[in-house]
Structure 1
Amino acid sequence: MSNEQPIGFMDSGVGGLTVVKQALKQLPRETVIFIGDQARLPYGPRPSEQVRAFSWQMTHFLLKQNIKMLVIACNTATAAALPDLRAKLDIPVIGVISPGSRAAIKASKNHRIGVIATEGTIRSNAYRDAILAKDPGATVISQACPKFVPLVESNEYQSPVAKRVVAEGLQSFKHSGIDTLVLGCTHYPLLRPLIQNVVGPDVTLIDSGAETVNGVSFMLDYLDIANTSAQQAQPDQYYTTGSADQFATIAKNWLRLPDFTATHIDLGRN
């Protein structure tokens, strides 16, 4: 296995770019190949079998690009597809839920942890189970926030509408006593300032995607597959099943890459 092979990242849309942003910062020599399934988002309301099928379609696309590691940069897809992908692929597969759970336990002092995510992730109890497995004494308060992903995907995440939607979505945490809140969807860090404003400065926000890149970095070293040459072997590539222009508009701003371009591909309908 050549160390210069790319790392594949996949998400339901642009949210996975919050993971890629950390990868570009922490792993500048690694090549990123990213695919966002914008044509079929949001994944949150979909049955887990369907999310698993879509995840496999994205995986097959990335495998054709000769990736050395797969990062599921989507909490809904991690909950639905990670065990299956891990069992059937012969490259390392990393999801976002375990790293986010570990970071939350480490950050919390009072063992009261909030989790916000899509309906699919909350329904799976993946965060609750992961946190309680490591800290059985913890209290986990979970809340699905289905309106958050569309805000980000429509590039409205800095608008007055976003401020109102976030405030309404986080009402249940007002008197919950949490000291830590997991952003359990990779779209949510784009709403981070609004979320922090609602929950207050004393609540630590955990970006599960950023924590995941720490795990990617560790695995590259542990498996001795990090790119050790002086530079990237090939340029990063970004693909979307939706509008390439719409994807690029958000990506340019978020990744601070003025020359960013995305390529539209078709994976299938549903």
Structure 2
Amino acid sequence: MNEKRPIGLFDSGVGGLTVSRHIFRYLPEESTIYFGDNARVPYGSRSREELMTFAAQILTFLLSRGAKYIIFACNTNSSLTLPAMRRRFGVPMIGLIEPGAAEAARVTRRGRVGVIATEATVKSGAYQAALKAAAPGLEVFAQAAPRLVPLVEGGRFGTRESLEAVREYVEPLKKAGIDTLILGCTHYPFLWEEFRTALGPEVVLVDPAEATVKAAREELARLGLLGGPGGPVEHRYYVSGDPLPLVAAARRFLGLDGVRVEKVTLD
């Protein structure tokens, strides 16, 4: 089947571009429609009730633009709102938690897995539960890192400030002796080099986005929703706030120049 409607994905801001990167790699014939809710970033300190409202608004927007499939390109929403949104909206959806946990369980050498994420994701216990389900014998150590999303949204990755923040947050995980670390927020791969410097080569870094996109590809094929060859591929970008941070992040992280980003107001 040649299903050319776009894949919809959303995040609190620029973090979901780390998911877009893997869509471009593993699903190159798919169009996408991206929504970054940067007027309300960060999500990590929001209540579940707020996030439910935001997710419903964003999904309504993405579906109104023809999305055939939704990737929750946000760990916080994946952990707190995805089950309810699946029940509410009649469209297939996937989140980051289970694929990321499965990948970490696969690559860990000593069964000591760290999770670094937003406050909301850590408090939800979603990664801890998914890791235990994937491999019951794992020891899991979770760390909230509230300063990292604002650093990335402000374009301050690859700086001394971002390296010092990452070092501060991973110190308890290093002391716990982790051998694998899940980057449990889609903003955090922007800080990949900072994490690598702070942890050294012996700790395996897991980006759940890659495993999620691979799982999405399998589900799209199973549902007959894959976009086949031929026809144009289009990537559309929307934000609720200032478009410039997304334009700048797409250029720095994805090498995309001149990305057109439209600001929209959600009801």
Give the TM-score band, short-chain normalised. Answer: over 0.9
Matched letter for residue 237 of structure 1: R
Q: 2:220 corresponds to which residue?
A: 220
Q: 2:31 corresponds to which residue?
A: 31
Q: 1:243 corresponds to which residue?
A: 242
Q: Which moved more, 1:92-101 or 1:258-267?
A: 258-267
Q: 1:264 corresponds to which residue?
A: 263
Q: 1:160 corresponds to which residue?
A: 160
Deviations 1:175-222 (A, max 9, x none): 211111000000000001111111111110000112111111111111
d(CA) in 1 for partners of 2:52, 2:201: 37
d(CA) in 2 for partners of 1:139, 1:224: 38
Task: Report sequence identity in percent.
Answer: 38
d(CA) in 1 for partners of 2:245, 2:108: 37
Q: How far apart are 1:2 and its partner, in Å?
A: 6.5
SS at match of 2:265: coil
- Does the 8 A contact of 2:10 with 2:72 survive in 1? yes
- Does the 8 A contact of 1:9 with 1:70 survive in 2? yes
Q: Check if 1:193 corresponds to 2:193.
A: yes
What pairs up with 1:50-61 in 2 under 5 angstroms?
50-61=50-61
Paired positions, count: 267
Q: How far apart are 1:3 and its partner, in Å?
A: 0.6
- Unaligned runs of 5+ residues in structure 1 are none
Q: How far apart are 1:229 and its partner, in Å?
A: 3.1
What pairs up with 1:79-94 in 2 under 5 angstroms?
79-94=79-94
Matched letter for residue 238 of structure 2: Y
TM-score (norm. length: structure 1): 0.96
- Does the 8 A contact of 1:6 with 1:68 survive in 2? yes
SS at match of 2:81: helix
Q: How far apart are 1:155 and its partner, in Å?
A: 0.1
Q: How far apart are 1:173 and its partner, in Å?
A: 1.5
- Unaligned runs of 5+ residues in structure 2 are none
TM-score (norm. length: structure 2): 0.97
Q: Which moved more, 1:1-10 or 1:178-187?
A: 1-10
d(CA) in 1 for partners of 2:157, 2:77: 22
Q: 1:112 corresponds to which residue?
A: 112
- Does the 8 A contact of 1:49 with 1:80 survive in 2? no
- Does the 8 A contact of 1:105 with 1:131 survive in 2? yes
What pairs up with 1:8-23 in 2 under 5 angstroms?
8-23=8-23
d(CA) in 2 for partners of 1:241, 1:89: 21
- Does the 8 A contact of 2:158 with 2:193 survive in 1? no
Q: 2:139 corresponds to which residue?
A: 139
d(CA) in 2 for partners of 1:213, 1:17: 12
Q: Check if 1:211 corresponds to 2:211.
A: yes
SS at match of 2:155: coil
d(CA) in 2 for partners of 1:159, 1:179: 25
- Does the 8 A contact of 2:247 with 2:258 survive in 1? no
- Does the 8 A contact of 1:173 with 1:199 survive in 2? no
SS at match of 2:10: strand
- Does the 8 A contact of 1:74 with 1:96 survive in 2? yes
RMSD: 1.2
Matched letter for residue 133 of structure 1: A
d(CA) in 1 for partners of 2:58, 2:143: 28
Following TM superposition, the consecutive aligned residue runs of length 4 or more in structure 1 with deviations greater than 2 angstroms are none
- Does the 8 A contact of 1:112 with 1:179 survive in 2? yes
